[in-house]
Amino acid sequence: MIERPRFAWKPVGTIAAGAATALLVTISRYDYHRDELYFRMLGAHPKWGYVDQPPFTPLLMRACVELFGDSVWAIRLPGLILTVLTAGLLALIAREVGGGARAQGIAALAVLTTFPLISGHVTVTTGPDLVMWLLAILCMMRALLREQPRYWPAAGLVVGLALYNKHLIVLLLLTVAAALLVVGPRRTLVSPWLWGGVAIAVVVGLPNLLYQIANDFPQVSMADALRENKGDEARITLLPLQLVWLGPLFVPVWWCGIVALLRNPALRPVRAFGLAYPLMLVLLFALAGQPYYSIGLLAALFAVGSVPVERWLSTTRRRALFAAGAVVNCGIAIVSSLPVIPVDVVGRTPIPAMNQVVADQIGWPRYVRQVADVYESLPAEDRARTVLLTGNYGEAGSLDRYGKPLGLPDVYSGQNELWHLGPPPESATVVVFVFQGDPDRLRAFGSCEERARLDNGYGVDNEEQTARVYVCRDRVGTWAELWPRFQHFD
């Protein structure tokens, strides 16, 4: 029987407050992330689902805009709350497997590592997803370790709610179920409580399924596009990035979690979670899934690993060694994940190349100003019949956010869900097209003249840097006829 100490409010609260403070201080030092700009546009068109994801994060962003205003800091406030919740859940998982105050504090330290910091800083789907995965894992562990099957319906409810943010939690269910089948306890798989939890998850998440059925399973198409466009890269980086998400110096901690789950007799009821992680890596490799899909389970393993690490920290020398490693690990994560370095300096560092999330927060107002200059150079009679067209949702989102005060017209894009907001009106005979990529899209017009190339002015290489700005005329058909060729998923 595992003895569970009290929840360590003081160390866990201190770490959670420290992480929240770091996020608050840097909350708006750069600019929106490209995905935030996209979700902001989606939130203006509320639906039960979108072609590339469920509705929770776009609607959360819409709520923040309505309550606090349309600004970077307003949409990022939920990240602070989610970070605090993540720290608490990690500590509770450590406590569930017998971790004392020091182990719970170590577990909470995970929020000061690379991936959790990014998820807390930028309002994208990964922040809510991490909280939902950890809560589901905690419920399942309690059901197994405490032999209290009433936690299975609670886990089902969490899974059902998680489906409104991402469908990735299905990967957790599949790998844990397979691991239970292999290492047990197998009787759990026939428990009516477990299947009651499954039923609750299905009922709560049913609108997601109905949306997919009614729209010919668009997220299958999205997954296929990701596999085609990024599958090779995902497979190559899958294992290396597992060592980076929580920091290289913390790898021994989550490795201890796997070993403890598989070898500690007291943890035998939950050893399936130790096997579920390698099974998930195999599944992600087979599906060409993105490497970060495993982060929820990886963080839980880190929390479990904090318990044997707590026992290892039996001497002053070991405690000093671990503290030094933790400071270095978390310090590097903070500098490389949050906008700590001034924006006019960061381009001269390796950070944007190391962390694409940083690069994708830089340059949007300048890019929009450069597009506005092209638009303003058009004759007045042309501006009256002009629309903006972009190759990706980051460009579209930035023009939608910053373009209206500059007098720019409506913006359209063919990427993912934005394609469904088009086509432009037939009266639009002049197009300012922000684009780099497939030249077939330029052939939709009789003439396209390059007028500018985007430059953020900070020397940061992101997806928009050096993108072309064209003025296109003489469509070769109606917008209704041409619009399908602009559709793309990636």
Q: Domain-by-domain residue ranges, the chain?
A: 9-343, 364-486
The whole-angstrom separation of Cα 279 and Cα 285 is 10
445-453/468-475 β-pairing: antiparallel
The whole-angstrom separation of Cα 252 and Cα 463 is 35
The residue type found at 324 is: A
The whole-angstrom separation of Cα 365 and Cα 17 is 32
Q: Give the Å distances, CA to CA, from 329 to 107, 337, 419.
A: 14, 12, 42
Per-residue pLDDT of the chain (490 residues; tens, 9 = 90+): 688 999 999 999 999 999 999 999 999 999 999 999 999 999 999 988 898 889 999 999 999 999 999 999 999 999 999 999 999 999 999 999 999 999 999 999 999 999 999 999 999 999 999 999 999 999 999 999 999 999 999 999 999 999 999 999 999 999 999 999 999 999 999 999 999 999 999 999 998 888 888 888 887 778 787 788 788 898 999 999 999 999 999 999 999 999 999 999 999 999 999 999 999 999 999 998 899 999 999 999 999 999 999 999 999 999 999 999 999 999 999 999 999 999 999 999 999 999 999 999 999 999 999 999 999 999 999 999 999 999 999 999 999 999 999 999 999 999 999 999 989 999 999 999 998 877 778 889 999 999 999 999 999 999 999 999 999 999 999 999 999 999 888 8
Dihedral sign (CA 346, 352, 356, 359):
positive
Residue pointed to by tokens 């949702």: 393
Give pLDDT, residue 228: 80
Nearest to residue 4, comparing CAs of 101, 117, 75?
101
Give pLDDT, residue 145: 96
Q: Give the Å distances, CA to CA, from 356 to 111, 290, 360, 460.
A: 19, 14, 6, 10
Give pLDDT, residue 170: 94
Can you give the pTM of this predicted structure?
A: 0.95
Structure tokens at 345: 């300096």
Give pLDDT, residue 364: 96
Give pLDDT, residue 226: 78
The whole-angstrom separation of Cα 83 and Cα 119 is 8
Work out the number of other CB atoms within 10 angstroms of the CB of residue 275: 20
Give pLDDT, residue 190: 93
Nearest to residue 289, comparing CAs of 415, 463, 161, 171?
171
Question: Which of 71-100 are b and which e, b meaning 16 or more Cβ less than 10 Å from the residue's Cβ?
Answer: ebebbbbbbbebbbbbbbbbbbbbbbbbbb
Beta-bridge partner residues of 470: 433, 450
Tell me if 397 sits within 8 A of 34, measured CB to CB: yes
Structure tokens at 280: 């998930």
430-435/468-475 β-pairing: antiparallel
Assign residue 437 a region (left: φ > 0; alpha: ψ between -120 and 50; beta: otherwise).
left
Q: Give the three-state DSSP class for 4.
A: coil
